Structure formats: C-alpha cells, structure tokens
Amino acid sequence: MDYRKVQFFLSAARHGNLTEAAVALDISQPALSKSIKALEKSLGVRLLERGRFGVSPTPFGQALLQHGQVMEAEMRHAIGEIEALKGAQRGHVVMGCGPTEANRLLPLALQKLGLAHPEIKVTVLYGLNEALMPWVKQGDIDFALSSVPARASDPELTHEQLCTDSASVVARSGHPLDGRPAITPAMLGQYPWILPRERELERLAFDDFFLSQDMTPPAAQIETTSTVLMKSLVMQSDALTFIPRELIYWEALAGQLKALPVPGAQWARIMGMTRRRKGSVSPSGKRLMQIIKTCAQEHF
C-alpha cells in the first residue's frame, strides 16, 4: 500500500472537503482525487462518500482512518528517531493534556524543554479524558498528560503515575460560606452548583459525598466541560463548584477563589501520562516525558 496515498486519504477524511485537504497538502484538487481513487481501486472498496457538502468516510474508510492514524504516528516517531541517530535534536511531539495539568505542570515542563531543546516543536491538544484516551489509542497524539486510574483497565493503554491532587468544594473569596469554621452538607445545598457532567470522575465523587451523608446530591444549575467557564461563573456569583485544587492554583494565589473546608468532601485524583501499550515514542517525546516527570517530582 502506498503510504503517500494513505496520507492523502487521511487529510481528506479529516477535512471532510477535498478542496481544503488539497490546500493543506499543497497539491491540486484533481491530483488528490486521482490519488484517492487509485487507493480505492487498489483496495477494491469505496473509502469516501462524495456529497454536495464534502466527503465522509465509508465503513471501509473508517477502518483505514483508524489504522492509518496509527501508521502516521509510528512514521513520525521513526523519522524522529532517525534524526536523533543522525545527531539532530529537532523533532515534533504531539501530545494531549487535561485542564488541570495545563494549569501549571505542563507549562513548567514546556518552559524547561524550550530552554534545553528549543528546536523541538510541541503541539498540545486540549481535552478531557473522554477525548484524550481515544486520541492516544488511535495514534492522534503520542501521549496524554491527565488523570489516570489507580489500576489500568484498558489493555491497549499503559499509564504512568506522577503525583496526586485533590478535588474540593470551591467558592469565590468573600462568599457567604467563606470563613465558616465548619461547613455542613446542608449548607452547601443552599447554593447553586456549576459542575462537570455526570459521567466525569469529579462529578461521581461529588455525588458520592452527599450520598454518604444520606442526602440527595444537589442538582447542577449548569453542567459544562469547560473549566474556564466553571471558574468564571463561580468568581462572579455565589455559585459553588467541585474541581481539583491544582486547577485553582493561580486564582487562589490571587485571592480570587478558595477551597472551602468541608469535612469529607475531598477526593484524591492521580495525575499521570498515558500512551499506547504497543506504540513507540520518539526521542523528542521521550525527552518531554522525562522533563514532565522531573517537574512533577520537583513541584508537586
């Protein structure tokens, strides 16, 4: 199978539009169409459905897309390793990062990487684990820096634990509950809540806390995957949220947000790195992973 033709197909599938994919690849649209048709002919199946508004992968195309992305990641790693063997230090790392880790740990690591290896390019894709884990498995990213389970449950993934953070009830400074020596679950129920969606780990821990007190968990006034929105709403109102303390590190230093002392409402989470069990990591990726580990040891 011609790898170049696979790359062209991947670009078309991602863009959903042959013209846009051709521009990104710096080739003509007819040349791109010809390449994809040749690939379809060699495989004996239709890979893309053509429509008025663009193209989309067929079931056969979805299969090639999934495996082709892994091929693409492995090729990127191979090129990086060849460059390293030639004595070059340049490389390109594509990683994923969760909101908490993007707040302090990753910026510290990227600053250190930039000083030691300014020629290494890093692309960071931001998201929650529900997006990050599939990206790792499909080869879209080399590894993810996010929360990891205490015990691995997916045979395709391997996790490396770095440090532990805790989630707490968070309010704005000057909130009516700010300064209270003992805050009860009943007090918390009097205020609106801005919370992660129900399937998120923090939300499950939040619900478990109230259930352990024989109380129905407060309903979320607003559910969101945006931690920026959570913090902004809490800073501008009497609403409360339940998020990792590391996520409010800078706001706490600035006196804008604070974790409330609610007995039993703390939840420990493990920060770590996740990669494909059978996948390789480029020399540049290994350097960044090692720097992240060093920063976690030094600062957390």
Digit-coded pLDDT (tens) for 120-179: 999 999 988 888 999 998 888 999 999 988 777 788 899 999 999 888 999 999 999 998
Binned at pLDDT 50, 70 and 90, residue 96 comes out as very high
**Residues 226-276: tens digit of each pLDDT:** 999 999 999 999 999 999 999 999 999 999 999 998 888 778 889 999 999
Q: Look over the chain and give the mean of its residue pLDDT values, rounded to a whole number.
A: 87
**CATH 3.30.420.40 fits domain 3-57:** no
Pick the CATH number of 164-268 from 3.30.390.50, 3.40.50.720, 3.40.109.10, 3.40.190.290: 3.40.190.290
Architecture in CATH for domain 69-163+270-299? 3-Layer(aba) Sandwich (3.40)
pLDDT confidence bin for 50, thresholds 50/70/90: confident
Task: List every span in the chain annotated with CATH 1.10.10.10.
Answer: 3-57
Where does the chain hold its CATH 3.40.190.10 domain(s)?
69-163+270-299
The pLDDT confidence band at residue 8, using thresholds 50, 70 and 90, is confident
Has residue 81 got a pLDDT over 80?
no
Q: Where in the chain is the domain with CATH 3.40.190.290?
A: 164-268
Per-residue pLDDT, 98: 92
Q: Cα separations (Å) of 247 from 99, 101, 226, 258?
A: 7, 8, 12, 11
Q: State the pLDDT at residue 159.
A: 94
Residue 41 is predicted with a pLDDT of 83
What's the mean pLDDT in 182-190? 89
